[in-house]
Each structure stands twice: as structure tokens, then as C-alpha cells.
Amino acid sequence: MNNRKWYKVLDDKSFLAEGRVMTVHAGTKEVCLTHFEGEICALDNKCPHQGGPLGEGSIEKGLLRCPWHGWDYHPCSGKAPGFDDGVEPYSVKIEDDAVFVALETREEHKTTIADIMAETMTNWGIDTVFGMVGHSNLGLADALRRQEEKGKLKYIGIRHEGAAAFAASAYGKLTGKPAACFAIAGPGSTNMFTGMWDAKVDRAPLLALTGQVATQVVGTGNFQEVDLLLAFQSVAGFNHRVERDSKHSELMSLAVKHALINREVSHLTFPDEIQTLPDDDEQPQTPENRITSFDISPPAESIKQAMELIKKSKRPVIIVGHGARFSMPAIIGFAGMLKAPVLTTFKAKGQISDSHPLAGGVLGRSGTPVASYIMNESDLLIVIGASFSNHTGITDKKPTIQVDFDPLALAKFHTVDVQVFGEVSVSVEILKKQLEGKIRTEDQTVEIAERWKIWRNEKQKRLKEYRKKGLGAIHVFDTLNRHAPENAVMTVDVGNNAYSFGRYYESKNNTFLMSGYLGSIGFALPAAMGGWAAVGEQRPVVAVAGDGGLCQYLAEITTLVKYNMPVKVIVLNNNELAKISKEQRSGNFEVWQTGLVNPDFAAYANSCGALGLKTDKCDELDDVMQKLFAHPGPALLEIATDPELL
């Protein structure tokens, strides 16, 4: 045979004792190696009945027994005594005590359905996949591997599929473009459900790719069979199974297009056998001439109505939400013309730096007295890219103009005086141009500065509070104000750590990511992985979490280490689900089952290969935080905190 290749499968033949068998690897193929009657032999590793791994079997009474159902084969010839079937034997040679096996060279790879769909996906700009490879997604995983080898894809293998979905959600929130999360059939896919919901309710584009059991056993209660189309029906706006006769490149194009344009979750599930079928000469698609411009101008009548209200106003206030995050230069320019304060919802924290003379801080439950005072003293609210849910803190008792690119978001919870439907930047620029020289608004910058001075004086008073039961949250965030990189992407978990973060940390040129409407505990660490995948080395990434949230996905510290993600994790450890304790007390319930037993987080980080630091002393905070941010790789700082000092 001229098309054979010899593979070294064992360095020393003596390792395989007489009467033993083992599985070895020849290139990408598994081979069963046997030592029988003084001869070392090689067989195909798969039993022809159910694919049982013969290398995990044993030789009994002169026959190799399959470990799955006990079928017998001769250890060297591979024949099944008394039957006409068997397994293929391979040639073996020994050189310098090393064992070599000869296999026919592999045929050149033929393009598969999975290849076509993976290439279409990367053509549409999806360059990052977070996931876990397993038995029901191997064909698709191999296609993703080929895209990675071409430099078109970054694959990040996580430790829990829930972290993959949260990371993809965070990537979408930060960039406005979808990343993909990837899992096997059944439990691997259902683990992604929470992160997919986080993306759905926060309107982040996301593509979920799942393996599925073979089509021929769907509906039979097969191992790990879950009806994923039915399971994901409520979370995925685009939700399809890939079939043999699907238009495969078109199906992937539509999945990405739905995620991108509708800012929603798209889901494709791939039955096992579909993934390796030949592509039937289909070509990968690209987004060329498939995406329209989003620069939609608002109706003239709504602009006219908005202008009439603004012309009457002396103390307008602009309130921006997460939906305005890609339009802030236009909004800040508009605010400058009006000399109007810019307040943000908590989800929109950082969209204007707190050092800007027109910045009024965060509204709502995670906000500051600066923002609430300014809103209450206003005579007109111009709300851009924000909802009016309870958590935003936006009052419905002031004359209001609402600007949004989503018509369903306009007047969603109550009537609004003027609704402006259009792309945010376009709408704001039109208002600015048409109002120039026609306004009589007061310059509120001096008053804004006065309110910040009052609040900062109050914070200085709170810094003196210390009960020797851990540091107060204000100590943590006052120190973070001094040491956090000015352009860091910062992810935050839910709980008291989030409320204190919103209240005390003063944003610079930061971008903040959080689980907004879903409010899912555990978000911060996997979201930091998504943030790093999006910005790479261009911006630092910082995760802020409580002990309850961090423990949800604590094993992902190893993912930071594996990919050398220089993420900095700050964990506020109070050994309690303190926000739940607070809610129990405020609801007149007994505090129950909120205490936690935690690991030594710093020691855990060190054991994973990251830098672990910890402190419970105010006078050490500056030093340890300096060390945290000076470290070039992944690092974690554990701070013992007092649950009562928020």
C-alpha cells in the first residue's frame, strides 16, 4: 500500500503487558492495541455493533471482549468466531522498542453542511464563539475549528455553558454585534437558557448554536434528547432546526440577520448526522446588499411637537438609557446647546463621564441624590433610549419627550407627551439643528457642580463609618475611583455590590455591563470574558461581584488563566446574600438561609494560576488595589466587607 502512513502509537512496547489492551491514537484515529501470545497487534477501535471502544475491553479466554455488550473478537485478526463480521486489523512494526501502526492516509477533507454554515456565520461578522465541545456537536465543532485555523474566528472554551451565554450576551451589549454560544444537546443547551434570556430582555444580539441527537431517534426518549425548538421557543425570536434539505447558507444568514437587526436571540440546532453531510455544492453567503441603513428620520410632526415643548422649557433634563449607548456624541452635543444636565439609568452608567460638567449621575435605586434632585427640579424630561420601568427611577409626573428607535418602547408603560420614533443620533441632530437660536433654557452647569459637591461631602462622612466587621462598600469604591483604569470596561453583578457600585463609583471613560432587566446573579465574571473577547488588549476589563454572584461561575477563573485574559476581579465578601437579608427585613420576614460558607477566594485564584489578593483593612486597600491593576495577567482581589455598610 503506497498510500499508507506509519504513526508512532507507543514509545515503549513494554508498557503494554501480555494479555492487555489499550486505546492509542494514530493521528486523529483511535486504534485498539493488543498484546496477545507475545505479539503486539492493532485493530479498529470501534465495535461494529454500537461503536464500543475495544481498547477499553479485555482479553478473556483468548478473545478480545467488547466492554459495551460483550461481543468477542480475535485479538490479532479481528475476526468474530462463528460469525462473518469483525473489525479491521492494521499493520504493526516495532522500531527501537517503539510501536508503529500503518493507516491509509486520510482523504482530503470534503466541505460539509457545517463548514458552509460556519463560514457564512463568520462572513456575517460573528468572530467569537463561547462554548463547550461534546459528543452531539463534534461535526459543527470541527467546522468551527477550521474557521479558527483560517483566522476568522476566536473560540473560547468555557467551564459551564451558562457562562458561554452570559459572555455572548455581554459581547452583544458592548458591541451591538452578536457573538455565539455553543453547546451539546440536552443539558448543555438548557444550561445556556438563563444567559439567552439575559440577552433577550436587554435587547442584545446573540446566536445560540446547539447540537442535537440524530434525527432518526428524535422523539424516542433518546439519551440527552430535549426538544430544543420547543424549549427555546420563548427566548429565541429566530428558532430553527437544520435539516438535510435546508438552504443552509441562507438559514445561517437569516439567523444572524435577525439577531443583528432585531437585537434578539437566534437559535439553530444541528442534529448529529447533519453536521458531517457533504454540502452539495452550496456556497457560503455574505451580508453584501443584505443589510439596510438604520439612519431612519423621525416623522416631521413628532419633531415639531418636541420642539414646541423644548422652546417653552427653561430647565430641561436629558435622561439616557442603554439604548442610547451608541449615540452619545450627538446627545452630549445636544445637551451642550441646551446647557441641560444629562442623567443616566443604571444600565446606562458611564455613557457620559461623571467628570463632564453636564453629567448628573445615575437615577433610580442604584443612583445618587445628584440625579434625583436634578430630575425633580426640571420642567421637561427628554428621555432617550430608556424605558420607564421601576428600576430606572424616571418619573412619569413631568412633561416628557421620549426618543427611541424601537416603536414598542415608546410610551410602553404610560402615556408620553411626545413620542419621537427614529434612529437616536439622527433624531437628536435634527432637533439640535432646528432648535439652534430658538431656545431660552437656563445654564444649569453651576447648579450641577454644587450638587456634586454636596454629594461628595456626604461620601466623605460615610468613609468614617467602620465597625471592624469588614470594610464598607464606600471604602471599596472610593479606592476603586482612584485606581481603576479610566477606559476600563466594567462588569457588575447583582446584589448590594451593584447598588453601592452605582452609587459610589464615579465613571470616567468607562463602559459598564450588567444583567439589566433579568437581574441574574453570576453575571459579572462570564460577562468580563465577553468584554475581553470584544476589546482584547485595547481596554482593561474589571469585574465587580459579591461572594454569592462570583460563586455561581467561580470555575471560570480557570478560563481567564487558560486564555490569559488580564481581567481583574474584585469580590466583596460578606459571607451572606446580604441583599436578600435586607429584603427579608424590609418585608417584615425573619432573615433565613442567606448565610454563606465561602472558599478563600484569593487562595482559589492562586491555585488556578491567577494572582490572588485579599484584605480586610482600610489602610491596605490602596496598596492591594495598586498590585491588582499592576499585574499583567488575570487577578482577583477579595475584600472582606460589612453587609450593613452600603
Q: Nearest-CA neighbor of 123 among 294, 291, 247, 293? A: 291
What is the residue-wise DSSP string for 64-115?
EEPTTT--EE-TTT-B-TTSS-B--EE-EEEETTEEEEEEEPPPPPPPBHHH
Alpha helices (H) along 130-287: 138-149, 161-175, 187-190, 193-201, 228-231, 248-262
pLDDT tens profile 200-222: 999 999 999 999 988 877 787 88
Which pLDDT value is given to residue 465? 86
Q: If residue 268 lies in a helix (H) or strand (E), which one and from where to where?
A: strand 265-271
Which pLDDT value is given to residue 112? 96
Residue 584 grid cell: 427579608
Which pLDDT value is given to residue 17? 96
Mean pLDDT (whole number) for 516-525: 94
Q: Is residue 430 part of a domain?
A: yes
Judge if 167 and 234 occupy the same domain.
Answer: yes
Judge if 607 and 541 occupy the same domain.
Answer: yes
Judge if 163 and 261 occupy the same domain.
Answer: yes
Judge if 596 and 472 occupy the same domain.
Answer: yes
Which pLDDT value is given to residue 8? 96
Helix (H, G, I), strand (E, B) or coil at 192: coil
Mean pLDDT (whole number) for 485-501: 95
Is 511 a residue whose pLDDT tops 70? yes
Judge if 99 and 138 occupy the same domain.
Answer: no
Which pLDDT value is given to residue 507? 94
Boundary residue ending a domain (417, 447, 477): 447
Q: Is residue 434 part of a domain?
A: yes
Judge if 491 and 590 occupy the same domain.
Answer: yes
User: What percent of the chain shows pLDDT beyond 90?
Assistant: 88
Which pLDDT value is given to residue 1? 46
Which pLDDT value is given to residue 85? 83
Residue 305 grid cell: 411637537
Which pLDDT value is given to residue 391? 80
Report the greatest alpha carbon distance in the chain.
101
Total domains, the chain:
4
Scan for cell 430658538, then name that residue.
438
pLDDT tens profile 128-150: 999 999 999 999 999 999 999 99
First-to-last alpha carbon distance for the chain, in angstroms, is: 76
Judge if 52 and 124 occupy the same domain.
Answer: no
Which pLDDT value is given to residue 224? 83
Q: Is residue 13 part of a domain?
A: yes
Which residues form the domain of 506?
Answer: 463-640
Is 151 a residue whose pLDDT tops 70? yes
Judge if 525 and 624 occupy the same domain.
Answer: yes
CATH number, domain of 169, equals: 3.40.50.970
CATH number, domain of 46, equals: 2.102.10.10
Residue 489 grid cell: 470596561
Is 68 a residue whose pLDDT tops 70? yes
Which pLDDT value is given to residue 2? 60
Q: Is residue 442 part of a domain?
A: yes
Is 528 a residue whose pLDDT tops 80? yes
Q: Is residue 18 part of a domain?
A: yes
Mean pLDDT (whole number) for 417-446: 95
Cβ atoms of 354 and 330 within 8 Å: the answer is no
Judge if 348 and 470 occupy the same domain.
Answer: no
Boundary residue ending a domain (75, 104, 133): 104
Which pLDDT value is given to residue 215? 82
Judge if 97 and 117 occupy the same domain.
Answer: no
Q: Is residue 285 part of a domain?
A: no
Which pLDDT value is given to residue 393? 87
* Alpha carbon 512 to its chain's center: 14
Across the strands, what pairs with 403?
384, 420
Cβ atoms of 319 and 383 within 8 Å: the answer is yes
Boundary residue ending a domain (104, 126, 145): 104
pLDDT tens profile 354-400: 999 999 999 988 899 999 999 999 999 999 999 888 788 899 999 99
Is 106 a residue whose pLDDT tops 90? no
Mean pLDDT (whole number) for 426-439: 94
Q: Is residue 250 part of a domain?
A: yes
Q: Is residue 292 part of a domain?
A: no
Give phi and psi for 208, each to the nearest 5: -105, 130
Amino acid type, 297? S
Mean pLDDT (whole number) for 181-188: 96
Judge if 428 and 484 occupy the same domain.
Answer: no
Q: Nearest-CA neighbor of 500 among 461, 460, 459, 470? A: 459
Length of the chain: 646
Mean pLDDT (whole number) for 281-307: 93
Which residues does 113 contact at the CB level (< 8 Å), separation at least 6?
A: 242, 248, 274, 275, 276, 277, 278, 279, 282
Is 22 a residue whose pLDDT tops 80? yes
Residue 519 grid cell: 437581574
Judge if 534 and 481 occupy the same domain.
Answer: yes
User: What percent of the chain shows pLDDT beyond 70?
Assistant: 100
pTM reported for the whole predicted model: 0.93
